[in-house]
Amino acid sequence: MSKIQVMSETLANKIAAGEVVEKISSVVKELCENSIDAHAHTIDVLLEDGGLKSIQVIDDGEGMDRKDAEMAFLRHATSKLIRDDDLFFIDTLGFRGEALPSIASVSKVVLKTCNKELGTMIEIKGGKIVKVENADSRKGTSITVSDLFYNTPARLKYLKNEAQELAGCVSLIEHLALSHDAISFTLKNNGHVLVSTTGSKNLHKCIHEIYGLNVSSKMIEIKASNDDFDLYGYICKPEILKSNRNHFITMINDRVIKNYEINRAINDAYYTYKPDTKYPIVVLKINTDPTLIDVNIHPTKQDIKISKIQELNELILKTIKDALYKNLLIPDAVKKPEYNEIKDHYVEHFVSEATKSEDAYQSSTNTQVALDLSYEEEKESPTIINEELKSLVLYPVGVALGTYIIAQNEEGVYLIDQHAAQERVNYERYLKALKESKTSSIGLLFPITVELSSSEFLIVKNNIQVLEDLGFKVEEFGMNTFVFKEHPTWLKTGYEEESIRKILDILISNHGAFDRVKFNEHIAITLACKMSIKANMRISNEAVEELLNELVLCDNPYNCPHGRPTIIKFSIYDLERMFKRVMN
């Protein structure tokens, strides 16, 4: 008897489900993308117990007739690809014809759909159709998926708890709403609204509806184009940062994607504007010719290949850096709470919150309404060019806690972090020196020897020209040892050996993937931090005045190269309100 046999359709669909359906949000994603492809204007997602009990997606799209509805659950049945050449011009979110049969094979599904007058209802259990009958004539499609993985226990045990699965669904709907701002999305769990957008065709308003007023009012619009790509979107000012990259929301031709190289370009654009462990909110739409991308490399269709990725990354990097430079301002010390904090708290702790009264829930809804009323006024705020601090005249008053310089003028009171401020001054000084084509050097009375491990010695030896270009005169000196006889004049006196060792550490840490621009920036940041005055170090009044005068001459005086703010403002109005001199 032959050992090789063709597996059954049901078994093949269960295997495919392992690739397409990983979690609750995977089901929601596939169903919502079908609704988007059906040109829906409104999409409602209704979950029970975070989707563990049931998932229902209702749309007002084109709907299907009975024949198409039955065909939709056959593997590789699709209306979106017909010829081989169509793979090069994909303009729909779905095209494989795998999602519906895969989902139906591991759950119980009820489909109701109508495209004209008479509707169709199909009930499926474990991939097998058990009922087909007439249904109401509401145009659009409603599909309910319940008891996911009921017949595949091995997959069921890998579903996360209710809160985690719900959080994944919230994040997904937010991303879809931002990528299709002309569609109204609603996400409910056990009857409670978690996400609601109006489909206003206004990306900034959609950001406001999802993230709240505090974030939307601090977003910067960006637009740029080259021969192959058009960019449009919003980036946040560095004062609004998150602890992970989940808020890098990038879309290519309205498809939400995850691309490491694009994410790296976004993060690099914020280099020196933020700490390494914090990440901005970025909503970026990219439009290009479909022939320049390949979405047919993974069942989820989120990981795609992009031709001319280098040109795209350069466009993203330059556009974001330019926008940040033109829009950075001194952050105000007094901030207003944002609605999104209320929603995040509910998503993370909704199990316990569900026991609270409906009045409390209604209160949070009213908060959203109040913020919506103020949106129109906020979104019209004009862009202010990055010259605020450079035009200020600051009068130093003193130093608080040995760390914060207190200054004032006719607009209010300013606190300046003395370490962060001098770090910015030193950083720009070092970076300018490192960019000079000709570097002045000075000889060492006592040459500095540095002994390395064998692997480190080889890396430095292969990059010896880099050190010479910086202004060092360096020679091999015995086993795994270099001797430095000259150094560039910009090294701080008394810290020559320590600076040399730090530069060598940076060179070695590149592991052969050398980038001169980043190398220079890394050196400037490292040396600037080391050579700056520290917190709790007392400095004279003359040193304070000199530091303020140097800070206002910086190209970017608003934050240190690690992204921390150098200066914070208390306006006269803020002070009077805090002390109850004004009551509004």
DSSP class of residue 538 equals: -
What are the start-end ranges of the H helices in 471-581?
A: 496-509, 516-530, 541-551, 572-578
How far separated are the first and last CA of the chain, in Å rounded?
87
Instruction: State residue 354's pLDDT score.
Output: 42
Alpha-carbon dihedral sign for residues 43, 47, 51, 55:
negative
Instruction: State residue 299's pLDDT score.
Output: 53
Q: Which residues pair with 121 in a beta bridge?
A: 112, 133
3-state secondary structure of 441: strand
Q: State the architecture of 193-386 in CATH terms.
A: 2-Layer Sandwich (3.30)
Instruction: State residue 365's pLDDT score.
Output: 40
Instruction: State residue 200's pLDDT score.
Output: 93
d(CA 53, CA 196): 22
Q: Where are the domains of the chain?
A: 9-159, 193-386, 389-421+535-577, 440-489+493-530
For the domain covering 440-489+493-530, report its CATH number: 3.30.1370.100
Are both 9-159 and 440-489+493-530 of the same fold?
A: no
Alpha-carbon Rg for the chain, nearest whole angstrom, is: 29
Sites in the chain below the pLDDT cut of 50: 17-18, 81, 84, 86-89, 95, 337-343, 345-385
d(CA 254, CA 225): 17
d(CA 135, CA 354): 34
Q: State the architecture of 389-421+535-577 in CATH terms.
A: 2-Layer Sandwich (3.30)
The fold adopted by the segment(s) 9-159 is Heat Shock Protein 90 (3.30.565)
Residues 481-513 have pLDDT tens digits of: 999 999 988 888 888 888 898 888 888 876 655
Residues 63-118 have pLDDT tens digits of: 988 888 888 887 655 555 455 454 444 555 554 557 788 888 888 999 999 987 78
Assess contact for 290 and 91: CB atoms under 8 A.
Answer: yes
d(CA 416, CA 405): 5
Instruction: Rounding to the nearest 10 degrees, give the CA dihedral for residues 235, 240, 242, 246.
Output: -20
**Backbone angle region of 140, left / alpha / beta, with phi > 0 → left and psi within -120 to 50 → alpha:** left
